Amino acid sequence: MIRFVAKRLALMPLLLWGIVTIAFLLSHAVADNPLASIVGERNLGNPDVVRAATERWGLDKSLPEQYFVYIANLLQGDMGTSFRTKAPVGADLAVRLPATLELAAVALVFAIVIGTLLGVLAARMRGKLVDGVVRVLALLGSSLPVFWVGLIFLFLFYATLGVAAGPGRLSARVIPPPDATGFYTVDALLAGDWPLFVDAFQHLLMPALIMSLALLGTVIRIVRSQMLEEQGSDYARTARAKGMTRGQVLNRHVLRNAITPVITIVGVSVGLLIMGAVLIETIFSWNGIGTYAVESSRALDFPAITGVCLVGGCIFLVANLITDIAYAVVDPRVRLS
Amino acid sequence: MIVATDDERPLLEISGLTVAFSTTRGPVQAVRGADLTVRRGETVAVVGESGSGKSTLASAINGLLAPNGAVTAGTITFDGTDLLALPERRMNAVRGRRIGLVPQDPMSNLNPLVPVGRQISEIFRIHGVATGRAARDRAIELLGSVGIPDPGHRYRQYPHEFSGGMRQRVLIAMGLACRPQLLIADEPTSALDVTVQKIVLDLLDELTTSMGTAVLLVTHDLALAAERADRVVVMHRGAVVECGPTATVLADPQDDYTRRLLAAAPSMATDSLVDGGTPTAARPVIEVVGLRKEYPVRKGAFGRREQFLAVDDVSFSVPRGRTVGIVGESGSGKSTTAKMLLMLEPSTSGDIVFDDRDVTGLAGPDLFAFRRRVQPVFQNPYAALDPRYTVGDTVREPLEVHRIGTRVEQDARVAELLAQVALDPALADRYPHELSGGQRQRVAIARALALDPEVVILDEAVSALDVLVQAQILDLLVELQRRLGLSYVFISHDLAVVRILCHHVHVMRDGRIVESGSPATLFRDPQHEYTRELLAAIPIGAPRPEEVEAPTA
């Protein structure tokens, strides 16, 4: 197990290097010139300003040169400076990444916990009304477009009914907690500010729920079908022959077997979840990595785009590693090698 | 073994039992008006082919029919209680405590994610027999009593860390955990090797005798039933067609079906289907010399790479027009040998000389040409046919792959092939799921014959078939050999079948051939200890002498 983790970790720099290279080349393959976003539309007519900016940002150098400079800087922990914000990309990401991770983490918990509960419920009530309702919900969750659900929910629960918190990470005129981790809920608790925690948490609920919907639907369907399949398996019947009730067999034997495939699905879905952040963050004015990615690509902000790819790649690789380990923990037959 | 006195009322009395399953094509009766009695402490065998309703009958007793099945008529009385009238909650108290179950497949009947010991000790907890440490200690003790070494350590291990035979012991431990009055053993050993089967059945006998537990032994194997049971019940198409004391039923079967079943079951006394004849003078069609197969495996916590020797220095030859049998238990390397002969698996070293040419290194067009001359038939007729291909498509496919004939010629050839394996050519439009197991295996044979091969590799080709169907397929194989001059390599775990079909037999163990000879000499006078062991383990179709004399509890 330790050998396996070490091997995978050792491989990570290589994979990240590949990701960075591809991201770098792709963003430079775009024919458009990023100068407009650096100096502003109006200054493009001014040759002096343009020449100065080209030199300042190293755009006069050849692509290989630019690439080697970027890699050399990256090795020293410098991800470059954003064309658009004129701030170091590393600093930009440090502010925005926790916002997205906080959202994605809560969304994951929703998908796993609610998905499993509803899946089990539907399987136990197979063919009954509850089963039908859950299955329809699962289908809707997987098929309704996120931006539409987001707007409808905001309109319904925030604007009309006023039962949910609005867009943003905090209510208006609420001052963020002192920065320790960047996760507002965690920072608020660290600062001992309970009302602030509640406010941050309430703002998380709706966007996280909507973010989780697609995965939630998938988890429900997998848990339900796995439960039904495992219920009919030989070992479940043998457990019944021991004198266990149907419920005991489900809880002690069937559930564990039914849940293992969920780990795989959740693992590969983390990447999709982060991708979905683009839409959610735009709708909920969430100052995270998704909005940052959108704005950076609009401005052809190469360093920022490559930085986002790098971080996304890291998240994906770590998620996969955790998935493999979780699988080995749950299923004794899996040997990591 | 019979401990009940005659005036006692029976432990289990089933009368007029009818079980129906609701299917898309309407209700299907799986059991029809079955009567059965089990007295205390005795062993009653229910014998029948697949689909005879024997397992359904067993499931009805402990109330574990599939959700679409229901008892529509009849009664099941257990120790004076009407089980069918018992509410679910009280039935749970009967299951596991008073009626134990030993199910068929040791691979699928244990929960793979729960340690073996916990799966036993939970029985004590459910029935309130023991809890906590006491339950654990009892489970460890039980593991020891079913012959599992180091039970304290094994208690914590998972099912995949046990061999098939060891798992079956665990299932026996589970079935007998609460010392039930009745044990339902549903094909308890049909997934096991014959030597393991004997050990497991001996253990089962010993334990149930000492506990005074009655056994309802469900099996397809008449010889096994004869050896182990006091009385036999024969089922056919859901009905009990014959029942009585074992010796009486075997010696003097009254029902026509029982007679056919007895006649079809090959035993060590059955006459050979092939004539021994003089070995043909011509050169053998296949000559295997020093064949070896190694697989890399990882062992231990640090994953040291090691070589596992699956086939070790195997040499034999296949004379033209003859059948060479390879017998062995699981893990003996017999199927790996078959795969290498078929060029589906590369050999590590050694030669396979086919028609005077070493074929081990063949590739490209040469290999393609070789495939026309050596064809396989595999064990499972359900898995070996593509469910989305019609019978005609399946049989035609080899012709298409090798571009033989026009479409019209291919159709004619398909009809000819189907007729050759005694199938109605009209079946060409059917799909596999519309056919019986025997019909499917005939289709698989027709497909193997499509390219006019010289050699057919039969890997457990009749092992999944019921005994009557098996007899028909064996006859077909012999007839085809006579007519087409085919050479067979017949790979099987079943010595009785090998004995009647083969001209020459090799016994394999742990990758090596330990003994070779003609069936007549090999089985009459086995030289190697392992061959003797194998032969001794085969159910002989009658109570073993020592068991008749065994003291009753």
* For residue B5, pLDDT beyond 60: no
Distance CA B173, CA B102 (A): 9
Confidence of residue B208 (pLDDT cuts 50, 70, 90): very high
Q: How far is B201 from chain A (nearest CA, A)?
A: 20
The domain locations on chain A are 2-62, 96-330
In A191-254, which ranges are continuous DSSP H helix? 194-231, 234-241, 246-249
Q: How far is B546 from chain A (nearest CA, A)?
A: 33
Pairwise CB contact (< 8 Å): B64 & A242: no
Cβ contacts of A260 on chain B, cutoff 8 Å: 113
* Predicted local distance difference test score (pLDDT) of residue B553: 37
Same domain for B58 and B157, yes or no, is no
Identity of the residue in A234, A248, A333 whose CB atom sits nearest the CB atom of B105:
A234
User: Is there a contact between B438 and B469 (Cβ–Cβ < 8 Å)?
Assistant: yes
Residue B128 burial (10 A CB sphere; 0-12, 13-18, 19+): exposed
Cβ contacts of B302 on chain A, cutoff 8 Å: 3
Q: What is the DSSP letter of B201?
A: H
**pLDDT, mean of residues A143-167:** 86
pLDDT digits (tens, 9 = 90+) for B401-432: 999 999 999 999 999 999 989 899 989 999 99
Pairwise CB contact (< 8 Å): B112 & A257: yes
Same domain for B121 and B200, yes or no, is no
Confidence of residue B437 (pLDDT cuts 50, 70, 90): confident
Distance CA B230, CA B2 (A): 8
Q: What are phi and psi of A42, to 5 degrees?
A: -70, -35
B546 within domain boundaries: no
pLDDT digits (tens, 9 = 90+) for B444-498: 999 999 999 999 999 988 888 888 888 989 999 999 999 999 999 999 988 889 9
Residue A128 burial (10 A CB sphere; 0-12, 13-18, 19+): exposed
Report the residue of chain B nearest A260, measured CA to CA.
B113
**pLDDT, mean of residues B78-82:** 92
B514 within domain boundaries: yes
Of B177, B208, B236, the residue that ends a domain is B177
* Predicted local distance difference test score (pLDDT) of residue B17: 95
Of B539, B511, B516, B537, the C-alpha closest to B526 is: B516
Pairwise CB contact (< 8 Å): B96 & A238: no
Residue type, A34: P
Distance CA B454, CA B372 (A): 9
Cβ contacts of A257 on chain B, cutoff 8 Å: 111-113
Least confident segment among B248-257, B272-281, B364-373, B448-457: B272-281
* Predicted local distance difference test score (pLDDT) of residue A79: 85
Identity of the residue in B93, B103, B114 whose CB atom sits nearest the CB atom of A243:
B93
**Average pLDDT of chain B to the nearest whole number:** 88
pLDDT digits (tens, 9 = 90+) for B18-53: 999 988 888 889 999 999 999 999 999 999 888 889
**Cα Rg, chain B, nearest whole Å:** 25
Same domain for B90 and B123, yes or no, is no
Least confident segment among A51-60, A306-315, B227-236, B273-282: B273-282
User: Is there a contact between B384 and B376 (Cβ–Cβ < 8 Å)?
Assistant: no
**CATH code for A96-330?**
1.10.3720.10
Distance CA B243, CA B36 (A): 8
Report the residue of chain A nearest B114, measured CA to CA.
A253
CATH value at residue B422: 3.40.50.300
Distance CA B401, CA A228 (A): 41
Report the residue of chain B nearest A336, measured CA to CA.
B303
- 114-133 of B, contacting A, C-beta below 8 A: 114, 119, 122-123, 126-127
Domain that holds residue B145: 106-177
Confidence of residue B279 (pLDDT cuts 50, 70, 90): low
Distance CA B217, CA B54 (A): 10
* For residue B318, pLDDT beyond 80: yes
High-pLDDT (> 90) share of chain A, %: 25
Cβ contacts of B88 on chain A, cutoff 8 Å: 245
In A154-193, which ranges are continuous DSSP H helix? 184-190
Cβ contacts of A256 on chain B, cutoff 8 Å: 111, 113-114
Of B123, B151, B177, the residue that ends a domain is B177
Of residues B456 and A40, more confidently modeled: B456
Rounded to 10 deg, the angle between the A255-283 and A302-330 helix axes is 160
Best B95, B97, B111 member to test A by mutation, with max A CBs in 10 Å, is B111
Same domain for B221 and B291, yes or no, is no
- 235-274 of A, contacting B, C-beta below 8 A: 235, 237-245, 248, 252-253, 256-257, 260
pLDDT digits (tens, 9 = 90+) for A66-104: 888 888 888 888 888 888 888 899 999 998 999 999 999
Pairwise CB contact (< 8 Å): B101 & A332: no
Same domain for B344 and B290, yes or no, is yes
Confidence of residue B106 (pLDDT cuts 50, 70, 90): confident
* For residue B238, pLDDT beyond 80: yes
Pairwise CB contact (< 8 Å): B64 & A241: yes
Cβ contacts of B92 on chain A, cutoff 8 Å: 243-245
Same domain for B255 and B301, yes or no, is no
Q: In what order do the strands lie in the sheet with B304-318?
A: B304-318, B286-299, B349-354, B357-358
* For residue A49, pLDDT beyond 50: yes
* For residue A1, pLDDT beyond 80: no
Cβ contacts of A244 on chain B, cutoff 8 Å: 92, 96, 122, 126
Same domain for B228 and B361, yes or no, is no
B469 within domain boundaries: yes
Of B446, B442, B452, the C-alpha closest to B485 is: B452
**pLDDT, mean of residues A121-150:** 89
B19 within domain boundaries: yes
Domains: count for chain B: 3
Report the residue of chain A nearest B298, measured CA to CA.
A337
Report the residue of chain A nearest B103, measured CA to CA.
A238
Pairwise CB contact (< 8 Å): B114 & A253: yes
Distance CA B493, CA A75 (A): 63
Same domain for B246 and B148, yes or no, is no
Report the residue of chain B nearest A253, measured CA to CA.
B111
Pairwise CB contact (< 8 Å): B64 & A240: yes
- Tell me the count of A-B CB pairs closer than 8 A: 81
The conformational region for residue B320 under phi > 0 = left, psi -120 to 50 = alpha, else beta, is beta
User: B97 CB near a chain A CB, below 8 Å?
Assistant: yes
Q: How far is A83 from chain B (nearest CA, A)?
A: 50
* For residue A120, pLDDT beyond 70: yes
Pairwise CB contact (< 8 Å): A235 & B111: yes
Least confident segment among A6-20, A110-124, A186-200, B289-303: B289-303
Cβ contacts of A331 on chain B, cutoff 8 Å: 112-113
Contacts 24+ apart (CB under 8 A), B418-423: B418/B391, B418/B443, B418/B446, B420/B446, B420/B449, B420/B480, B421/B445, B421/B446, B421/B449, B421/B476, B421/B480, B422/B476, B423/B391
Cβ contacts of B167 on chain A, cutoff 8 Å: none
**pLDDT, mean of residues B188-202:** 85
Same domain for B58 and B33, yes or no, is yes
Residue type, B73: A
Identity of the residue in A232, A243, A260 whose CB atom sits nearest the CB atom of B95:
A243
Distance CA A203, CA B440 (A): 63
